[in-house]
């Protein structure tokens, strides 16, 4: 009991230090850049909920990220919604879209599931090109940041950063609570061995659908928040390349870890920001970094560090969450873990 209490205090202390660091960080780095990192970190964390804990590889998450961005931008600019209501509108639409796509895709497994999500996401991309309210290739520009609760003016870069930080923390806490709930334990069981989870009486499709909707909802929250940071909703956010980027961020940081997607998103966004001057070479450099990390960090950066630390302490570590079999929905007969 004493060791468990000590572990809880240690965890809370680390969380407090992380929050303190995030609070003071904009005094040393550009607040808008940091806000962008937080938006993509939340997007990657939402995707990791689906891939890392439910074992579902989606190639269509840009649909939720980008379409919710359009909805929030339109609500804020044309309807005069306050920033919190604009984000709420985009998040609700992302949840609805996640339910529709999830119902169509969730009964497929492995590569078939990934291809269905990609195809449906491309349909959303086509809608975004054709729909009048999106303004086609021009996007929705000049989106007002507005006043939070009618009081705080978010036109200040510091104000928008702390607003994004609050949204980020809410999203991450929802994911953390989900993963460490009985629902999250069932998801892990389905990820490890779906037939056995079904034999124990769990409705695997229902659990995966709920995870898909929650992941889409939080991804939509991230996209809606990014609109307020850059005052722009564009086709870039809903294109298939964005779905590829979030996969890269998650795998790079560590699939199935809470911190991994955040680290991966931070690295990718930082590279894009500071290597912008080299143009298309940025993609080549990203590819080389990804290859380097895959060869040296099979579990991702955070996953590998966690694995090595556990080995040093003589503990038993979990197997890598993303292997070729797991990524394509194959099972290896491993026992279901509920703990």
pLDDT of residue 315: 58
Round to whole Å and give the CA distance between 58 and 164.
25
How far apart CA 229 and CA 161 sit, in angstroms, is 8
Please state which of the ranges 136-145, 232-241, 297-306 shows the lowest mean pLDDT.
297-306
Per-residue pLDDT at 337: 38
pLDDT digits (tens, 9 = 90+) for 282-298: 777 777 877 877 777 77
Q: Is pLDDT at 314 greater than 80 in this prediction?
A: no
- Tens-digit pLDDT profile for residues 181-194: 999 899 999 888 88
Q: Looking at residue 5, what is its pLDDT?
A: 55
The DSSP symbol for 278 reads: G
Are the beta carbons of 319 and 193 closer than 8 angstroms?
Answer: no
H/E element holding 153? strand 152-153
pLDDT digits 0-9 by tens, 148-183:
887 888 888 899 999 999 999 999 999 999 999 999
Q: Look over the chain and give the mean of its residue pLDDT values, rounded to a whole number.
A: 84
DSSP per residue, 219-258 = HHHHHHHHHHHHTEE-GGGGSHHHHHHHHHHHHHH-TT-S
Burial of 17 (0-12, 13-18, 19+ CB in 10 A): exposed
pLDDT tens figures, 37-49: 999 999 999 999 9
pLDDT digits over 189-218, tens only?
A: 988 888 888 888 888 889 999 999 999 999
The confidence score (pLDDT) of residue 332 equals 41
Task: Say what the pTM is.
Answer: 0.86
Q: Read off the pLDDT band of 331 (50, 70, 90).
A: very low
The answer, yes or no, to whether residue 131 has pLDDT greater than 60, is yes
Domain borders along the chain are 29-240
């Amino acid at each position: 009991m004493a060791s468990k209490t000590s572990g809880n205090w240690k965890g809370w202390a680390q969380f407090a230090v992380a929050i303190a660091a995030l609070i003071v960080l904009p005094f040393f780095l550009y607040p808008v850049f940091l806000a962008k990192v937080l938006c993509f970190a939340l997007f990657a964390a939402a995707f990791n909920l689906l891939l890392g804990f439910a074992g579902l590889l989606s190639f269509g998450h840009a649909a939720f990220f980008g379409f919710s961005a359009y909805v929030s931008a339109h609500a804020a600019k044309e309807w005069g919604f306050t920033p919190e209501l604009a984000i709420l509108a985009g998040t609700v639409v992302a949840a609805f879209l996640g339910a529709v796509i999830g119902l169509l895709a969730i009964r497929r497994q492995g590569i078939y599931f990934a291809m269905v999500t990609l195809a449906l996401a491309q349909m959303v991309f086509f809608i975004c090109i054709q729909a009048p309210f999106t303004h086609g290739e021009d996007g929705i520009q000049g989106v007002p940041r507005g006043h939070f609760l009618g009081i705080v003016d978010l036109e200040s870069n510091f104000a928008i950063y702390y607003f994004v930080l609050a949204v980020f923390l809410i999203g991450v806490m929802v994911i953390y609570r989900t993963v460490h709930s009985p629902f999250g334990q069932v998801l892990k069981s389905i990820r490890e061995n779906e037939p056995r989870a079904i034999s124990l009486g769990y409705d695997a499709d229902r659990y995966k659908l709920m995870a898909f909707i929650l992941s889409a909802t939080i991804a939509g929250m991230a996209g809606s928040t990014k609109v307020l940071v850059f005052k722009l909703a564009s086709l870039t956010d809903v294109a298939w390349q964005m779905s590829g980027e979030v996969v890269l961020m998650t795998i790079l940081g560590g699939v199935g870890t809470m911190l991994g997607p955040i680290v991966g998103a931070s690295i990718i966004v930082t590279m894009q920001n500071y290597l912008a001057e080299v143009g298309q070479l940025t993609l080549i450099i990203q590819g080389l970094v990804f290859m380097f990390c895959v060869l040296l960090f099979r579990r991702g950066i955070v996953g590998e560090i966690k694995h090595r630390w556990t080995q040093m302490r003589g503990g038993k570590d979990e197997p890598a969450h993303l292997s070729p079999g797991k990524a394509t929905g194959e099972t290896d007969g491993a026992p279901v873990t509920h703990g």
